Structure 1
Amino acid sequence: MLTSLSIKNYALIEDIQMDLQSGFTIITGETGAGKSIMLGALSLLLGKRADYSAIRDKEKKCVIEGSFNISSYHLQDLFAEEDLDFEAQTIIRREILPSGKSRAFINDTPANLSSLQVLGERLLDIHSQHETLSLGDNDYQFLVIDSLAANASRLKQYQAEMQQLKGLQKQLQQLREEQAQATKEYDYNLFLLTELQQAKLVTGMQEELEERYEELSNVEQLTDQLGSAVNHIQQEEIGAAAALREAKNNLQRISGISGNYQQLFERLQSVNIELDDIALELESALDKVEANPAELEQVNARLQVLYNLQKKHAVATVEELIQIEEELVKKVAVSENAEEEITRSEKAISEKKEALRKIATNLHAARKSVIPKFVKEIESILADLGMPNATLKIELEQQKDFFHNGHDKLNWLLAANKGGSYNDIKKAASGGELSRIMLAVKSILATYSKLPTIIFDEIDTGVSGDIAQKMAGILQKMGKNMQVLAITHLPQIAGKGDRHFKIYKEDAVHSTITNIKELKGEERVEELAMMLGGKNISDSAVAHAKALLN
C-alpha cells in the first residue's frame, strides 16, 4: 500500500508530504484547490509521461516520491523480471529537471517508464471521473470479465499466437504478390535464362575465344614468322644454333686456363640447351598452324553471341552474365515453386488458427463461468445503492473471426427499472446510475485482484442523500481489505473515512500555492459542516456533521 507521498515543485504545489495508512481515507477540498494536481503527480509514479510545463519553479527540479509497503504482495518475481532490486518498503521517484529531461527511479535504481507502468498496475488503481464512462467501452468490459476469470496468462498466450498468425499472414500475402509479379515476368525471364544457358557460359571463356580467334585470323602471318624464326636458329652455317656451337667450342678450349672461362662456357652450354628447346617448340607450333575457316567461323559466332548478350544486359564481362543467369534462375524458380511455398504457408496458417481457436475456446469458457456470479453480485450491490429493480444482462457469443482478445462478442445490457427493456449500459443508465454501477464493479474487482490501493476521484458524481450514505458504506467496507482513498464533495462519504485530508489553496508572497493537511477532531467537524451548509456554519450543520462522524 501507499505509505507516504511527497510532491515538490509541481504545478501549484511547492512542497507537500502525506503520510498514509491502511483503511478508508478521505480527501476533500474546494473545486480548483488542487486535487487533480495530486492525482497528476501520482500518475507520474505510475509511468505517465512527464510534462515540462508542470514544473512550478523552472529553475529547480520537480520531484514526486511515493513509498509503498509491498511486503505481502509477492512481487519478487516481477522485480526480477524487470531487473530491479526488491525492497519490502519500495520507493518510486520521478524527477523533471529544469532542462526538461525526466528521470525515474525504483529503490534508487534508474528505471524506464515501462517498468513503472508494469509495477504501477500491481500497486495502485486511480479511478478518474472520466473512467466511469468506460463502462460502455467494450475493451473495459472485457477487462473486467477477464480479471474475474483470471485470464491473464491465457490472454498473453493468445496474443503471442495472434502475433505469429499475423506474421504468417503477412508472409503469405508477400508470397502471393511475388507470385503475381513473377507470373507476369515469368515468360520473359525464362526466355532470358534460356538464352544465357544456351551460351554455356564459363568463367574465362571470352579471353580464350578471343585468343583463338586471333590465331585463326592470322594463320599466314604466324606461318611466315614461325618458319623464319626456326630458319634463323637452325640454318646449317649461319643459323643461331650453329654460331652458338662455335662459340661454345671456342670457350671449351680455354676453360681449363681460368675458372672465369669455365663459367662462361657453362653459361653458353645452358643457352645452347634452351635454344634447342625453343627451336623444338617453334617447330611444334609451326606444325599446328593450319588454316581452318570453319573453326574461325564457329569461334567468331560464339564471340558475337557473348558480345550481343553483354550489350543486351549492359555488362562488360562473362562473369557478370553468369551472375545475371543465377539471378534469373531464382526468379524463374520463385514462379515455378510459388504454389508449393503458398501451400506450405497456408498450412502453417491453418495450424496456427487451430491453436488460436483452442485458446479462444478456453477464454470463452472461463468468461462464461464467472458471468452469472458477477451479475448476481452487481445486482445485489445495486439494490443496496438504491437500484433494487436494476438487472444486468451480459451476452457472450462466440464468433468465427479472431479478435485481439479471442473470438468473443461481449455486450453489457441494463434494465434500470422494473419491467424495462434491456439496452446498452451507457444508454440505459444516467450519470448517477453509472457511478453506482462503476463502484459496484470496482468493489468486486478489488476482492478478486487483491490490489493494494485504489483511489476514487469523485465516484459519487450524480448521487446524494441516502444513496451517498450507502456508497460510503461500500467504500468503508472495501477499506477493511485494502487501502482506499476517495476524493469527494459529499459529506455523507467524507464522514465515513478513517482519516481525512483537506487540500486547499493559500496566497504566498508572490504566488498561490496548494497545501494539504490532515483534519482531526473539531477541524473535521468544521469541514463536514461547511460541506453541508457552506461557509456560514450553523448549529444544525455542526450537529449533522457530528452525527455523520458517529
Structure 2
Amino acid sequence: MLRRLLIENYLLVRRIELEFADGLTVLTGETGAGKSMLLGALDVLLGERFPRNPVPEHAERSVIEGEFDLPELPLNVKTLLGESAKGRQLFLRREITRQGRSRSWLNDHPLPQEALQTLREALVDFHGQREHQSLFKPACQLDYVDVYAGTRIIAQNVAVLFASRLEKKRELEKTKAAWTAHQKDRALLEYQLEEIERLGLKAGEEDALEARLTKLESAEKLALEASRLLGLLSEADPSLVAQSGQAKVIAGGISKTDRDLSPVAEELSSISSRLKDIAEQVRHYIDGLSFYDAELVRLRERRSILWELRRRHGLAV
C-alpha cells in the first residue's frame, strides 16, 4: 500500500507531504481544493504523461516521491525490476525538469519507462471514467482467483516453470539455427576443398610458376625485339637487304665501265649476301623462341587461377 506521498514544485503545489496509515484513507474537500491534483501527481509518479509546463516559475524541477509497502510483488514485476525490487519497501521518485525531461528511480536505481508502466499496474489501481480498472483485466482476474483459492504459490511455481520452458525453447531454436549455419559452412568448405583438390595444387607451385613466367616473359621481349630487327633487315619497305641489293647492282654497273669501282662492287655484293644470311639467322632465332608462346599463355592462365584462389580463400600455394 501507499505509505507516503511527497510533492514539490508541481503545478500550484509548492510542497506537500502526506503519510497514510493502514486501512481506508479518504481525502475530502470542496471543488477546486486540489484533490484531483494530488491524484494526478500520483499518476505522474507512476509513469503517466505530465501536463504541459508542470514546473512553477520559481523552481527548476518538479519532484514527486512515493513510498510503498508491499508484502510481495508479482513474479513478472520482480523479474523485470531485478535488484531494485528487493525488500518490502519500494521508494519511487520522479523528477521533471523545466525543459520537459523526466527521470525515475526505484530504490535509488534508474527505472526505464516500460518498467515503470509494469510497476504501476502492480502498485495502484485508479478508478475513474478514463482509467481502466484492474478488475476487468484477465491477468488480474487470474491473480484474484489464485489468491482466493490459495494457489498463488503453485501459480508462481508454474510461472517459473513456464519461463524456464520458454528459455529452453529459445535455446533450442538458437541451437537449431547454429546447426543450420554449421551445415551451410560445412557445405561451403566441402565445395571449396573439392575445388582446390580439382586444381591439383602442389607445394611451392606459385613460386616456381612465377620464376618460369619471368623467364618466358623475358624471352617474349627478346622475340619482339628480334622481330623488329628482322623487319629492318628484310621486311621493311625498303629493307636493308633490298637496299644493299640495289647498291650492289648500281656498283656492278659502274664497275663495268670503270674498273676502279670494282672493289666497291665486290664489297657491296659481299655485304648484300651477308645481310641475307643475318636475316635468315634472325628468322631462325625467332622460330626457336616461338615454342614458348603456348606455354606462356597456359602459365598466365594458371597464375590467374592461383591469384583468384588466394583472393577468395586466403591460400598461398
Normalised by the length of structure 2, the TM-score is 0.51
Residue ranges of structure 1 left out of the alignment (5+ in a row): 220-290, 311-315, 326-550
CA distance in 1, matches of 2:157, 2:53: 38
Aligned to 1:165: 169
Normalised by the length of structure 1, the TM-score is 0.33
Task: State how 1:137-536 maps to structure 2 within 5 Å.
Answer: 137-146=137-146, 149-150=151-152, 151-166=155-170, 168-169=172-173, 172=176, 190=191, 194-201=194-201, 205-215=205-215, 301-307=298-304, 309=305, 316=307, 318-323=309-314
CA contact (8 A) 1:210 1:303 kept: no
CA offsets 1:509-545 (integer angstroms, 9 cap, x no match)? xxxxxxxxxxxxxxxxxxxxxxxxxxxxxxxxxxxxx
Offset at residue 45 of structure 1 (A)? 3.9
By relative contact order (CA 8 Å, sep 6+), the higher-ranking structure is 1
CA contact (8 A) 1:201 1:322 kept: no
CA distance in 1, matches of 2:205, 2:303: 10
CA contact (8 A) 1:203 1:319 kept: no
Offset at residue 318 of structure 1 (A)? 4.7
CA distance in 1, matches of 2:86, 2:110: 11
2:116 aligned with 1:125 = no
Distance change in 2, residues 1:140/1:208 (3 Å):
same
Aligned to 2:110: 111
CA offsets 1:226-282 (integer angstroms, 9 cap, x no match)? xxxxxxxxxxxxxxxxxxxxxxxxxxxxxxxxxxxxxxxxxxxxxxxxxxxxxxxxx
CA contact (8 A) 2:55 2:97 kept: no
Distance change in 2, residues 1:321/1:103 (3 Å):
closer
Residue ranges of structure 2 left out of the alignment (5+ in a row): 220-287
Aligned to 2:8: 8
Offset at residue 209 of structure 1 (A)? 0.8
CA offsets 1:399-429 (integer angstroms, 9 cap, x no match)? xxxxxxxxxxxxxxxxxxxxxxxxxxxxxxx
SS at match of 2:311: helix
CA distance in 1, matches of 2:50, 2:121: 21
Give the aligned residue type for 2:301.
Q
Q: Which protein shows a greater Rg?
A: 2
CA offsets 1:176-218 (integer angstroms, 9 cap, x no match)? 7998x99xx99xx95x864543223468633321312444787
Give the aligned residue type for 2:200.
K
Offset at residue 296 of structure 1 (A)? 9.4
CA distance in 2, matches of 1:85, 1:26: 30
SS at match of 1:53: coil
Give the aligned residue type for 1:131.
H
CA distance in 1, matches of 2:93, 2:217: 90
CA distance in 2, matches of 1:12, 1:140: 35
Task: State how 1:55-74 maps to structure 2 within 5 Å.
Answer: 55-60=54-59, 61-68=61-68, 73=71
Aligned to 1:95: 95
CA contact (8 A) 1:134 1:140 kept: yes
User: What is the percent sequence identity of the aligned residues?
Assistant: 26
Distance change in 2, residues 1:218/1:111 (3 Å):
closer
Greater fraction strand: 1
